[in-house]
Amino acid sequence: MESTLELFVYGSLKLGECNDFVIKEWVVDWQPATVRGQMRLRPDNYPALFVDLYGRLGSADYLRDLELNEAPVSRAGQVIQGQLLRLNPGVLALPRLDEFEGYFPGSYSEYLRVAVSASTSSGERACWTYTGVGQPRADWCSIDNWPPEGLAVNPDPYQHGL
């Protein structure tokens, strides 16, 4: 069974950014991609994406989640630039990503893993991404790319937790 994972990344997990080490060994291909939403800079200087429309939430049934075939296309919000990564084996990458992002299916989580459609040069692609929980916080600065110009990012491995 194919266990490829398609993942939209917009922050520190982008290839070339400070936390790409978390998934780099599983990346077999990537391309520029966008989604629509709002991106906010958290107090720890890492981004959180908020989308108005998404498909199902990620589960702990990783093999089922890798069978993602469709997700809604959000037309609201700003265009968020990122990368659509193809990772293999996804069955190993998903639990590691969930742990890194502080996503615990069915429990309180720092981020959510949600199904979205990412726009690529070849059309819309159903994929997973990690989003902020709830509504965007008004006290978190709105940004359109990460890292914002002039932001010094700590190169040490990041541990989530506000």
pLDDT of the residue at 157: 54
pLDDT of the residue at 53: 87
Write b or e for each residue in 107-135: b if 16 or more Cβ atoms lie within 10 A of its Cβ, otherwise e. eebbbbbbbbbbbbeeebbbbbbbbbeee
pLDDT of the residue at 154: 60
Q: Tell me the CA distances in angstroms from 64 to 6, 127, 132, 136, 154, one per residue in order.
A: 13, 13, 23, 29, 35
Using CA atoms, how far apart are residues 136 and 25, in angstroms rounded to an integer?
Answer: 32
Using CA atoms, how far apart are residues 114 and 50, in angstroms rounded to an integer?
Answer: 11
All domains of the chain, ordered by start, with CATH?
5-134 (3.10.490.10)
Using CA atoms, how far apart are residues 141 and 136, in angstroms rounded to an integer?
Answer: 10
pTM score? 0.92
Q: Which two tokens stand for residue 43?
A: 């107090």
Q: 51 φ, ψ to 5°? A: -120, 145
Using CA atoms, how far apart are residues 67 and 99, in angstroms rounded to an integer?
Answer: 20
Using CA atoms, how far apart are residues 37 and 52, in angstroms rounded to an integer?
Answer: 7
Using CA atoms, how far apart are residues 33 and 22, in angstroms rounded to an integer?
Answer: 20
pLDDT of the residue at 148: 85
pLDDT of the residue at 70: 93
DSSP H or E run through 35: strand 27-41
pLDDT of the residue at 162: 45
The pLDDT tens digits for 133-147 are 999 999 999 998 998
Residues of the chain short of pLDDT 50, as ranges, are 1, 162
